[in-house]
Amino acid sequence: MRKIYIQAAEQISMQQPLSEEWMQQPVWHQEAFVQAINPAFRDYMAPNEARRMGNLMKRALVTTLKVLSDTGIEYPDAIITGTCLGSLDYTERLLSAMVENGEEALSPTYFMQSTHNTVGSALAIYTKTHGYNTTYSHGCISFDLTILDAWMQMQLGHIRTALVGGHDEMVESYFRLLQNTGYVGSPGMVPCGEVAMSMMLTTDEHADNLCELAGISVGQCPDIDIHQVDVIMTGVNGQPANDALYQQLLAQWPEKPQIQYKHLFGENFTTSALGLYAAAHCLKQGSIPSFMLTADSVPLEHELRNILFVNCQGDSTNYILLKAV
């Protein structure tokens, strides 16, 4: 097995953008739907470029450019993107134009950027990266699948570096629909948020690596010795059906400290990307902010060596093991 590392990870979400300030001073939100806090896009791209892109694209591009500059990697071997709803804003605009104005005289602009691979391919176009490029869109495991793909290709020796990301935006009208289904926006739930997270995976040892990506298991029981696990990170979000999935699982390991991230970053399909980002930075820092522990968790009493990240969707559970380096 080749060793794989997370070399850098950057986010734009409901926390301070492109920063780990949330580890000291998190922003707490009360609203049911919270848009991401945008950075000053002009610091990263020309105004005419910014005007041509929607929020989803701008955030994905800026987190990517920051990761590329963090790592000094100009052309990653692969760009692998996870998004559930893709270019939601443009899709909704095209749909509403079609309903309001009929099928005549539609502008192609929104359609051109409405496919789910718009983000992944635009990142390649912007950075002139010709390597492997794909996009996964499968509900709340969309991002996990990008990690699996990169992991497989690194094990097979196809690639050495991979830019992976999880990106989802939200618009008010679609939030209302999702609220109607009970997925977000119920009383007692964390806010519905927006996600932009880019991460560099590498098979090379670097002094600045955040942590090791020691294992991944999608939909199957992991080949991991649970006794060796220090901390379990879960996706509890205050929605009873969702939290029950984790409680059922965690009941097997009551002695393990449990941490959460959705109360910081909100719920949206690819929020697991922000969870993995947070876990990687905790391992780099060597400690976990106290506000990440769940209410009924036992405390962590020794040095932080690893975090088992767990993401449940329906009856399928994904595990990612991160280790300190």
Partner 1 sequence: MEPIYITGCGIISAIGVGKEATLAALQSGTTGIGLMKYLPSCHIDLPVGEVQLSNHEMMQLLGISYDKRLTRTALMGRIALREALQEAGLEKKDLRTVPFISATTVGGMDQREAYYAQEPDCDALHASIATHHCGTCTEMIAEPFGPFASLATVSTACSSATNAIITAANMLRCGLADIVIAGGAECLTKFHLNGFNALMILDHEQCRPFDRDRAGLNLGEGAAYLVLESVRSIEQRGVTPLARLSGYGNACDAFHQTASSPNGDGAYHAMQEALQSAGLTPADIDYINAHGTGTINNDASESHAIQRLFGSNLPPVSSTKSFTGHTTSASGSIEAVFCLLALRHQFLPPNINWHNPMEDGIIPITQESKANCQKPKTNCHILSNAFGFGGNDSSIILSALP
Yes or no: say if 71 and 200 are a contact pair by the CB < 8 Å rule.
Answer: yes
Q: From the CB of 275, what's the least distance to partner 1, in Å?
A: 18
Q: From the CB of 236, what's the least distance to partner 1, in Å?
A: 21
Nearest CA to 184 out of 84, 307, 280 is that of 84
Yes or no: say if 211 and 230 are a contact pair by the CB < 8 Å rule.
Answer: no
Question: Binding to partner 1 (CB under 8 A): which residues in 14-53?
Answer: none
User: Should residue 247 be labelled a site residue for partner 1 when binding is judged by CB under 8 A?
Assistant: no
User: Which are the contacts of 267, defined by CB distance < 8 A and separation ≥ 6?
Assistant: 183, 184, 189, 190, 191, 192, 193, 237, 239
User: Should residue 240 be labelled a site residue for partner 1 when binding is judged by CB under 8 A?
Assistant: no
Among 2, 46, 182, 286, binds partner 1 (CB under 8 A): 182
Site mask for partner 1 (CB under 8 A), range 118-137, x = bound: x-xxx-xx-xxxxxxxxxxx
User: Which are the contacts of 315, defined by CB distance < 8 A and separation ≥ 6?
Assistant: none
User: Should residue 221 be labelled a site residue for partner 1 when binding is judged by CB under 8 A?
Assistant: no
Nearest CA to 145 out of 156, 155, 154, 134 is that of 134
Site mask for partner 1 (CB under 8 A), range 258-287, x = bound: -----------x------------------
Q: Based on CB atoms, which residue is closest to partner 1, 8 or 94?
A: 94
User: Should residue 244 be labelled a site residue for partner 1 when binding is judged by CB under 8 A?
Assistant: no
Q: From the CB of 146, what's the least distance to partner 1, in Å?
A: 11
Q: Each residue of 295-320: b (16+ CB within 10 Å) or e?
A: eebeebeeebebbbbbbbbeeebbbb
Q: Return d(Cα 204, Cα 166) in angstroms, integer.
A: 23
Q: From the CB of 263, what's the least distance to partner 1, in Å?
A: 23
Yes or no: say if 239 and 200 are a contact pair by the CB < 8 Å rule.
Answer: no
Binding site for partner 1 (CB under 8 A): 79, 84-86, 91, 94-96, 98-99, 102-104, 106-108, 111-118, 120-122, 124-125, 127-139, 141-142, 145, 149, 152-153, 155-156, 158, 173-174, 176-178, 180-183, 218-220, 269, 315-316
